[in-house]
A and B are shown apart, each in its own frame.
Chain A
Amino acid sequence: MADIAAHRASPSPFRAWLSRVGQGRHLLGLLFLLPAAVFLLFFLTYPLGLGVWLGFTDTRIGREGVFIGLENYESLMGDSVFWLAVFNTLLYTIGASILKFALGLWLALLLNQNLPFKSFFRAIVLLPWVVPTVLSAIAFWWIFDAQFSVISWALIKLGLIDHNINFLGDTTNARASVIAANVWRGIPFVAISLLAGLQTIPQSLHEAATLDGATGWQRFRYITLPMLSPIIAVVMTFSVLFTFTDFQLIYVLTRGGPLNATHLMATLSFQRAIPGGQLGEGAAIAVAMIPFLLSAILFSYFGLQRRKWQQGGGD
């Protein structure tokens, strides 16, 4: 602490000013917050507002738009592709989230056992989540190839099917395939987060319940699940939000095809706005995602559990 005192003794005017500002923590707090606040206001809040505004205009690439009221939304109302994309997005989100939750919880329970090489398993299980989505999606694109799919090859060798599966060319198969690829990438996040929650549950609770004659299922149902539910709520909220707004995986694997069967709202918005040039309409589709996202957030906030993480923690 001696050198701190020495620093303070030096009478440079800058130091004096600094220490004056340092006394008022409100002023200093605003000063410290300034860089982040300016950044987020300019590159996050403003674009968010601009996006909502664009949704009410007929802006195109290279042409300023004029305010046209709800026209974009009216035309989307009668647009069957838009409604198909809404349906696909909901199907994709719900299907993938349920699978991610079930398989992720299972994997977390497995990893929570006493195993040799436990940390090694934990480390490699997280790999799908670490590598760039686009690059792993390209690998899936090759795995789902219509003629040379290794899955088809393996199933034919095993004698389960007799011709190649058309993974991405058939509407049902394409939907299942993109959900499978999304689940593959999402399982590690759910599993590792839930594992961290599982490790905070004291073993003694399980031992006591076993002595009282509880079965494995009862211990899971009445000890593990209730103690894990807060973290499940948070993890699944994140998972749902990220799945709902997914773009990369679809863009790589199908670009929305076949017959728009895998178009999500995000990919449709991109397609209309950037290659299509209709910035206004694209923005309207993006804005149409907001009510869904808000309801998911509010559901987890009010419906599941009021917790510190939602308010900046602390007290």
Chain B
Amino acid sequence: MTDHSQAKSGVSTVGLTDNSTGMSYLDNAPRRFLTVILPLLVFVFVLLFPFYWMAITAIKPNHQLTDYAHYSPLWVVGPTLDHIKYLLFETTYPHWLWNTLYVSFCATFISLVTSVFAAYAIERLRFHGSRWVGLGIFLAYLVPPSILFIPLALMVFKIGIYDTKLALILTYPTFLVPFSTWLLMGYFRSIPYELEECALVDGASRWQILTKILLPLSVPGLISAGIFSFTLSWNEFIYALTFIQSSENKTVPVGVLTELVRSDVYEWGSLMAGALIGSLPVVILYSFFVDYYVSSMTGAVKE
């Protein structure tokens, strides 16, 4: 299991064949600084600046937010927690956080369970037409939510789950199942078939093979699919915007945009605090599982 996960993540950490250090030693230091270090630092600065801006705005007192003449916008004098307190105690923000967590968790769970079965069926049982089903799953992944939200809104309304969390839990798997199935298919493919053949010869049923051999071996793949699905659900916007009406059922992205922006006065402090706190859970999850995350992202486009 360990060397399997290494093989999977090995692609993203070291080169495939040789271990030579490359030819970077041929470059001298100043040239290397100009062509590599400097551009990289510029990239990192541009990519991270919006987060810094979010964070610094979230803790700025209101009078400093728009007073660039007396205070540098890049720094804060006497940081305050007022915006965050306002958000947590005077708005429905905690509700939105809970909703997002609940919806993402349920949708991820449903998707993972169905995807494991589907991927096993397509990849290992190889029934009639499994290749076509595989292609169908891939095409399903390419169907964008912005085409589906109008008919789905109509369906959600007719079924009678409009403005409930259930509407989101049932619709999010439309983009999670194809993705997770695709990822797990690739993962199952990398597990030696001989292991299953041995078990079959020893008289194990398919169910036993799946639960006692394949699933324990694919824990890294399951983690990848799981955290990626969770992040995708957490970030989803258009379904949540369309299917949810009442404030207490909204998710964080929708709530922040529709409830914290009132009339003409933008309260940038609380908006940025809302954006920051709403991003933290996925960022924390991401920081613990960087390698799984990268392997699931690249795994989806490789193969």
Q: Do A and B come from one complex?
A: yes
B253's partner among A107, A135, A201 (CB-CB below 8 A) is A135
Say if the beta carbon of B77 comes within 8 Å of chain A: no
Structural contact, A48 and B151, CB atoms closer than 8 A: yes
Output the least CB separation between A29 and chain B (Å).
3
Q: Roughly how many angstroms separate A293 CA and B147 CA in the complex, as a whole number?
A: 11
CA distance A248 to B287 in the complex (A): 25
Measured CA separation A241–B274 after assembly (Å): 29
B22 CB–A CB distance under 8 Å: yes
Which of the 9-residue segments A90-98, A167-175, A204-212 touches chain B? A204-212
Main secondary structure of the interface of A (DSSP, over half): helix
A242-267: CB near B (< 8 Å → 1, else 0) gives 10111110011000000000000010
Q: Is A225 an interface residue (CB 8 A)?
A: no
A203 contacts the other chain (Cβ, under 8 Å)?
A: yes
Interface size on A, residues (CB 8 A): 117
The residue in chain A whose Cβ has the minimal distance to the Cβ of B208 is A4
Given A26-B128, A51-B148: 16 more A-B contacts, CB < 8 Å: A19-B205, A32-B125, A35-B118, A44-B174, A122-B294, A125-B43, A132-B253, A132-B282, A134-B257, A135-B274, A184-B47, A196-B298, A203-B21, A238-B301, A245-B147, A246-B146
A119 and B142 CA atoms in complex are apart in Å by 30
**A73 CA to B246 CA in the complex, in Å?**
34
Minimum C-beta distance from B205 to chain A (A) = 4
> Across the interface, do A308 and B151 meet the contact criterion of CB distance under 8 Å?
no
A180-193: CB near B (< 8 Å → 1, else 0) gives 00001001110011
With A and B bound together, what is the CA distance between A311 and B279 in angstroms? 36
A54-B150 in contact (CB<8A): yes
Do A32 and B235 touch across chains, with their CB atoms under 8 A apart?
Answer: no
The yes or no answer to B229 lying at the interface (CB within 8 A) is no
Within 8 Å of chain A (Cβ to Cβ): is B271?
yes
Q: How far is the CA of A143 from the CA of B56 in the complex (A)?
A: 12
Contact flags B173-191 to A (C-beta < 8 A → 1, else 0): 1100110010001100100
Assembly CA distance A166 to B290 (angstroms): 38
- Which of B68, B117, B127, B231: most chain A CB closer than 10 A? B127
Contact of A138 among B24, B142, B272 (CB under 8 A): B272
**CB pair B189 A314 closer than 8 Å:** yes
Task: Point out residues on A near B: beta carbons under 8 Å.
Answer: 1, 4-5, 7-8, 18-19, 22, 25-37, 39-40, 43-44, 46-48, 50-51, 54, 59, 103, 106-107, 110-111, 113-115, 119, 121-128, 130-136, 138-140, 142-143, 147-148, 150, 153, 184, 187-189, 192-193, 195-197, 199-204, 206-207, 210, 231, 234-235, 238, 241-242, 244-248, 251-252, 266, 269-270, 273-274, 279, 282-283, 286-287, 289-290, 293, 297, 308-314
Q: How far is the CB of B168 from chain A (nearest CB, A)?
A: 12
Residues of B within 8 A of A251 (CB): 237, 241, 257
The residue of chain A having its C-beta at the shortest distance from the C-beta of B277 within the complex is: A135
Would A187 and B47 be within 8 Å (CB), given that A139-B275, A200-B11 are in contact? yes
Q: Is the CB of A54 within 8 A of B153?
A: no
Q: Given A5-B203, A110-B36, A132-B282, A126 and B293 touching (CB < 8 A)?
A: yes
Q: Specify which chain A residues have a CB less than 8 angstroms from the CB of B217 in the assembled complex.
A: none
How far is it, in angstroms, between the C-alpha of A311 and the C-alpha of B137 when the chains are bound? 10
What are 24 sample pairs from A and B whose C-beta atoms fall under 8 A apart? A22-B207, A32-B125, A39-B174, A39-B177, A44-B148, A47-B148, A54-B150, A107-B43, A111-B40, A113-B24, A123-B287, A124-B44, A128-B50, A131-B51, A134-B235, A139-B50, A139-B53, A193-B298, A204-B20, A247-B237, A266-B146, A283-B151, A312-B134, A314-B123
Q: State whether the Cβ of B7 lies closer than 8 Å to any Cβ in chain A.
A: no
Q: Using known A-B contacts A32-B120, A36-B115, A314-B123, determine if residue A4 contacts B204 with beta carbons closer than 8 Å.
A: yes
Interface mask (B120-154 → A, CB under 8 Å = 1, otherwise 0): 11110111101101110110101111111111111
Within 8 Å CB of B152, what residues of A?
43, 47
The answer to whether A114 touches B24, judged by C-beta atoms less than 8 angstroms apart, is yes
CA distance A197 to B115 in the complex (A): 26
The answer to whether B40 and A121 touch across the interface, beta carbons within 8 angstroms, is: yes
Establish whether residues B18 and A18, one from each chain, have CB atoms under 8 Å apart when the complex forms.
no
Assess whether B279 is in contact with A136, with CB atoms less than 8 Å apart.
Answer: yes
A112 (CB) vs chain B CBs: closest residue? B22
Taking CB as reference atom, which chain B residue is nearest A147?
B66
CB distance from A36 to the nearest CB of B (A): 4
Establish whether residues B46 and A133, one from each chain, have CB atoms under 8 Å apart when the complex forms.
Answer: no
Determine whether the beta carbon of B40 is less than 8 Å from that of A139. no
CB contacts (< 8 Å) of B126 on chain A: these are 25, 29
- The answer to whether A274 and B153 have CB atoms under 8 Å apart is yes
What is the CA–CA distance of A200 and B15 in the complex, to the nearest angstrom?
5
Q: Are A279 and B150 in contact (CB under 8 A)?
A: yes
Which B residues are in CB contact (< 8 Å) with A242?
A: 144
Contact of B57 among A40, A114, A142, A273 (CB under 8 A): A142
Q: Are B203 and A40 in contact (CB under 8 A)?
A: no
B1 at the interface (CB under 8 A from A): no
Q: Which residues of B are found within 8 Å of A314, using beta-carbon distances?
A: 123, 131, 134, 189
| Binary flags per residue of B61-79, CB closer than 8 Å to A gives 1, else 0 | 0000110100001100000
CB-based contact A192/B297 at 8 Å: yes
Chain B residue numbers with a CB within 8 Å of A119 are: 13, 290
